[in-house]
Structure 1
Amino acid sequence: MPGTAVVIGGGIGGLGAAIGLQRKGWRVTVLERAAEFRPVGAGLVLQANGLRCLDALGLGATVRERGRRDVSAGTRTSAGRWLAHIGAGELERLLGTPAIGIHRAVLHDILLGALPAETVLTGATVESVTADGAVTWHGPDGPGRAQADLVVAADGIHSTARTALFSAVPEPRRIGVTAWRGVTPVWAGDLDVAVSWAPGAEFGMVPLTDGRVYWYGAVNSDQSAGDVRSHFSAWHDPIPALIASTETVLTDELACLDTPLTSYVRGRVALLGDAAHAMTPHLGQGANQALEDAVVLAALADQPQGLREYDRQRRPRSQRVAQASRTVGRFGQQLRNPAAVAARNALMRLTPPRFALRSMARFAGWQPPSLD
């Protein structure tokens, strides 16, 4: 029977797990370190697998209304020459579900609004987690403690729970890439969802439903990061203008869990999302995989040996996706050798779009369990 659950972390994966568990009858408390939720962050693309998870959580229709359905997409050189191009709706025709571009803050607001206000405790810094479900924290009202039947560690790449319970796991590894992210004001004109490449560099753009554009840029860190404008000022239109119009730009040194965990579970504690399998962004699957974790955990957690089954189902798939994303990065944005870049670009121009679609479908075609 469902009991009490503590979810550590109020991000996309943690809130998704909390919603799913409540739908299954669990009494849930979410502990979020931030004192308040602010509309920060950038955009993301919800692929078919992530949208299906939101359908299972009862939120798919709302997300579709507030996100932008996929438009034509593809890959270009920094001069603007197309290497590959997929027409609008092609992926939806293949998978039956569109991809959705959405601001991360909008998605977070939808998830947060699906939970009773008293479920989420902000300003709660978790201090200890044990395998038997004991969690201590310090919050606005002082120290707190809970003895839970289930603890969901959704506290990100630098997870407190993972550090406490999986001490043999190496720390997250920087991959040698500096990345910038931003969202423009309302943008005039239509844009493709596009990624552009130069040796050791990448720029991507995703139109959002409210007329803004989410963009990101990335360069190998040995290129002296500096200001984002210095790296992309000579790239094709509208890249320089997108950057120039953006007031707030976030900067990160990309990292991932390069050493796969041998389990996502210790006793009553289950790792979820970046805490379990922090991956590079090159496949755009990070948030989608966290939502997969959330729905599978909610579906299984009240069953005998449910956490063991969660680990059996989620660890192989999420680690395959993480490894594939790492490989895509090495042969995409991180590739620098001129001969290798020329060979890759030629191969992409010669590859029929249907093969690229099938490759994407390997990851986006996943179907979640029902929570009804």
Structure 2
Amino acid sequence: MVRRALGLRVGVVGCGVAGLAAALALARRGHEVVLLEAFDAPHPLGSGLLLQPSGLAAMRALGLREAILACGARVDRLEGYDLAGRTLMKMAYATWRRDGFGLGVHRAALFQVLFDAVQAAGVEVRTGAEVTGFDGLEAPTLSDARGRSHGPYDLVVVADGSASTLRARIRPQARAPVYPWGAVWVNARDEGGAFAGALAQRYHRAETMIGVLPIGAAPGGPSDLVSFFWSLPVTELEGFYTGDFAAWRSRVLSAWPAVEPIVAQFDGPAAFNRAIYRDVTVGRWCAGAFVLIGDAAHGTSPQLGQGANLGLIDAVELAYQVAEPSDLPAYQRARRLQTGPYQLFSRALTPLFQSAGPVGPFVRNWLFAPFSQAPGLDRIAAATLTGTFRLGPTPWELRP
């Protein structure tokens, strides 16, 4: 096929991390991009997140690495202990590379950095545009819940998250069941810096997981924030909000007394947000002019902390590799060399940290923990942590 001399007309559905990054990367490659957002005012959803070296490389490719470094908090290691004080997870970025690190970021800060760049790149942002249908797979016109039409587009990038409403229309065989375990989370001050430098977690078997991630600054806010999260079965989420908050706080402090300055900042559950995760299985991500990216294509549980990172990489590689819809199958094959292994890793590891019964914690404590910390194997674990594992060469623009 002869490639177009001019750019494509591109519609990007979803104003999350992957959608914003895709809109920005495609616009900078000379395409005419319209970003369609369901909400009347674009805003971030979700807790703080951990940008791995792979995600930071994608931000560098977008020209935004320094901007996000100025907002976030450096993370040098991940550490997890059970209630008896035994080390169950200990991974240092320096094991991967001497100068390696992750970056904890407030999701609103990442959103603002990307959104400002999207606007500066001349991307048209249409709000209140909840896309509900389209008129065909080739050069489609999209329709929204308000009866408006958008398009036609040469390429449609679907980045509306793990609960995507378009995915089933494009790939009817796709599946996205909710994980049985979710979490409640809240952002708080860490004025003394007690949790600086590490993603720290505490476990009681695999039924209780408490975590604290330093995330730096919120837009226009303090710079010493952390994200605090407590995992629990999805069936118990509602009970958290209607239950005895004082009893819950006592339970937290008995498991991890050091988080008292964090939980003391809240008088009740109303300040906490709920998080639900999906295990997305799509098969082919593309059909005609459509392509799924980010969590809409390969969402998993958050155990490996790779969701935003993979979405950013999806966006950068899409812009570099796709000049026509006919390039989409080759793009997906290349991306699956990375997203496929991480989906498998996530499915394997999730029961070790979030499950009922003795099997998960037994495997974690006596197999996963010692093997992941053994000389030589610790480097493999660190490479997996950093998001750089891939069954093939990494494109030069994305090399950390």
| Aligned counterpart for 2:24 among listed residues 9, 19, 23 | 19
Deviation at 1:5, TM superposition (A): 0.4
Residue 153 (structure 1) aligned with residue 176 (structure 2): no
TM-score scaled by structure 2?
0.82
CA separation of 1:303/1:254 partners in 2, compared to 1, >3 Å: closer, same or farther? closer
| Aligned counterpart for 2:305 among listed residues 267, 284, 302 | 284
Query: Do 2:49 and 2:215's aligned partners in 1 also have CA atoms closer than 8 Å?
Result: no
2:219 corresponds to: none
1:225 and 1:327 mapped to 2: Cα distance?
27
Deviations 1:128-176 (A, max 9, x none): 1331132323488x61320111100001122232121111223x21221
1:120 corresponds to: 125
Read off the aligned partner of 1:352 and give its amino acid letter: A
The 10-residue stretch of structure 1 (121-130 or 55-64) with the greater mean CA deviation from structure 2: 121-130
1:110 corresponds to: 113
Read off the aligned partner of 1:359 and give its amino acid letter: A
| Aligned counterpart for 2:226 among listed residues 213, 220, 235 | 213
Read off the aligned partner of 2:103 and give its amino acid letter: I
2:348 corresponds to: 327
| Aligned counterpart for 1:184 among listed residues 181, 188, 212 | 188
1:356 and 1:322 mapped to 2: Cα distance?
20
CA separation of 1:13/1:197 partners in 2, compared to 1, >3 Å: closer, same or farther? same
1:135 corresponds to: 141
1:256 corresponds to: 279
Deviations 1:26-76 (A, max 9, x none): 110000001113465320000011111111111111111211111343111
- Helix, strand or coil for the counterpart of 2:30? coil
Read off the aligned partner of 2:364 and give its amino acid letter: R
Let me know the Cα RMSD of the aligned residues.
2.7
1:269 and 1:340 mapped to 2: Cα distance?
39
1:98 corresponds to: 101
Residue 365 (structure 1) aligned with residue 388 (structure 2): yes
TM-score scaled by structure 1?
0.88
Query: Do 1:79 and 1:235's aligned partners in 2 also have CA atoms closer than 8 Å?
Result: no
| Aligned counterpart for 2:74 among listed residues 46, 69, 72 | 69
1:280 and 1:298 mapped to 2: Cα distance?
26
1:341 corresponds to: 361
Read off the aligned partner of 1:250 and give its amino acid letter: N
2:300 and 2:181 mapped to 1: Cα distance?
13
1:304 and 1:33 mapped to 2: Cα distance?
24
CA separation of 1:80/1:187 partners in 2, compared to 1, >3 Å: closer, same or farther? farther
1:308 corresponds to: 329
1:279 and 1:211 mapped to 2: Cα distance?
29
Gapped runs of 5+ residues in structure 2?
217-222
2:220 corresponds to: none
1:195 and 1:133 mapped to 2: Cα distance?
48
Identity %: 27
Query: Do 1:273 and 1:293's aligned partners in 2 also have CA atoms closer than 8 Å?
Result: yes
1:18 and 1:91 mapped to 2: Cα distance?
35
- Helix, strand or coil for the counterpart of 1:6? strand
CA separation of 1:263/1:369 partners in 2, compared to 1, >3 Å: closer, same or farther? farther
Deviation at 1:99, TM superposition (A): 0.7
